[in-house]
Structure 1
Amino acid sequence: MKISTRGRYGLYFMLTLANEYGIKKRSVKSVATEHDISDLYLEQIVASLKKAGLVKSTRGAYGGYELNQPPEEMYVGEIFKAVEENIVAVESDEKDGKAERFLWRRIRDAVSDVLDHTTLKDMIDYDEDEIDDYMFYI
C-alpha cells in the first residue's frame, strides 16, 4: 500500500491541529512552512478536508483552521478517505485464485481496520519507546 503525498500532508495538517486542539487555530501557510511543503498544494488538500467536514475555518485576526471534532473522535481513515482518491492495500488480478483473493481481502480488511480504529489522539499520545521496541521484533 502506498499513501500519496496528499494523504501524508493531510495527516501532517490534521496532527498539527490535533496537537493544538482547543489552544489555537492554524493557517495553512504556517503548517506548510513548519513541514516544508508547498502552501498552495496544502491549501488544495485542506479544501478536501473542509469539504468532508473534518476541519472548520474562521476568518480574521484570530482566525485559521481547527478540527471540527476532538482528536479522540477523529479517525485516520476519515482523513485518508477525504484526500486520497483510492486506498487499496493490494489489487486483485484476474489470474488470482481463491487463495490469493482470500489473502488480499484479509490484508485490505486489516489495513482498513487500523485506519478506521486509530484516532488522532492515539497518534499524538503514542509511547515512542513502546513502538520502537515493537518494531525491533518485526
Structure 2
Amino acid sequence: MKISTKGRYGLRAFIDLAIYSEEAPVSINSISARQDISERYLEQLMAKLKKAGLVKSIRGAGGGYILARKAEEISAGEVLRALEGSLEPVVCAAFHPEEECSVKESCVTKYVWQKLNESMTQAVDEIKISTLVEKSRSAGKGGKDNE
C-alpha cells in the first residue's frame, strides 16, 4: 500500500488540528503555516474529513475547524480512509464479488492478501490520534506545552 500526499498531509493536518483545537477552532491559515501545506489543498482535505464526520467547521470571526469527536476516539485508520478510500494493498476478487478473476475458486494466494489487508487495517485502527498528539508533543512539534 502506498499512501498518497492526501493521506500523508491530511494526517499531519489532522494531528495539528487535534493539538491546537483543544481550546478554540483552528483556521486553515494557521495549519498551513505550521505544516507547510497550501491553504487550497488543506481546504480540499478538510472537506473530505468533514464529509466523513471527523471534523466540524465553525463559521464566523474566530471560526475554523475542530474535531468532531475526542482524539482518543478517532483512529489514524479512520482519517486515512476518509482521505484515501480503501487502504487495501491488494483488491482480491475472493473478497470483492464485483472483481473479475479467472482463478477465484482455486487461488490460494487470496489467504496472503486477506491476512495482509487485515493486518494493515488492524495496525492503523489501533493507532489513536491522541497517541499521535502525545508523540508530537514529546518530539517538540507543537501543542500547548511547546508554544
Q: Cα RMSD (Å) of the superposition?
A: 2.3
- Give the structure 1 partner of residue 143 of structure 2: none
User: Rg bigger for which structure?
Assistant: 2
Q: Deviations over 1:106-130 (max 9, x none)?
A: 111011001222110121224979x
Q: Is the 8 A contact 1:29 1:39 kept in 2?
A: yes
Q: Which consecutive unaligned segments of at least 5 residues does structure 2 have? A: 94-100, 140-147
Report SS of the residue matched to 1:37.
coil
Partner of 2:88 in structure 1?
A: 88
Contact 1:26 1:64 in 2 (8 A): yes
Deviations 1:18-58 (A, max 9, x none): 11242222111221222212211110110011111111111
Counterpart code for 2:121: S
Amino acid at match of 2:110: R
Residue 61 (structure 1) aligned with residue 35 (structure 2): no
Paired residue type of 2:115: R
Deviation by residue 1:79-123 (Cα, 9 ceiling, x = unmatched):
11211133222344957940x321221111011001222110121
Using the size of structure 2 for normalisation, the TM-score is: 0.76
Residue 117 of structure 1 corresponds to 126
Structure 1 counterpart SS, 2:65 = strand
Letter in 2 for 1:80: L
Note the residue ranges of structure 1 that are not aligned, 5 or more in a row.
Answer: 130-138
2:20 paired residue number: 20
Shift of 1:4: 0.7
For 1:16, give the aligned amino acid: D
Q: Map 1:1-138 onto structure 2 (within 5 A).
A: 1-92=1-92, 97-98=107-108, 100-126=109-135
1:21–1:71 contact (8 Å) kept in structure 2:
no
TM-score for the superposition, normalised by structure 1: 0.80
SS of the residue 2:90 aligns to: coil
Amino acid across the alignment from 1:65? Y
Give the CA deviation at 1:7.
0.9
Distance 1:12 1:28 in 2: 13
Whose helix fraction is larger, Structure 1's or Structure 2's? 1
From the superposition, tell whether residues 79 and 105 of structure 1 become closer, same or farther in structure 2 (CA, over 3 Å): same
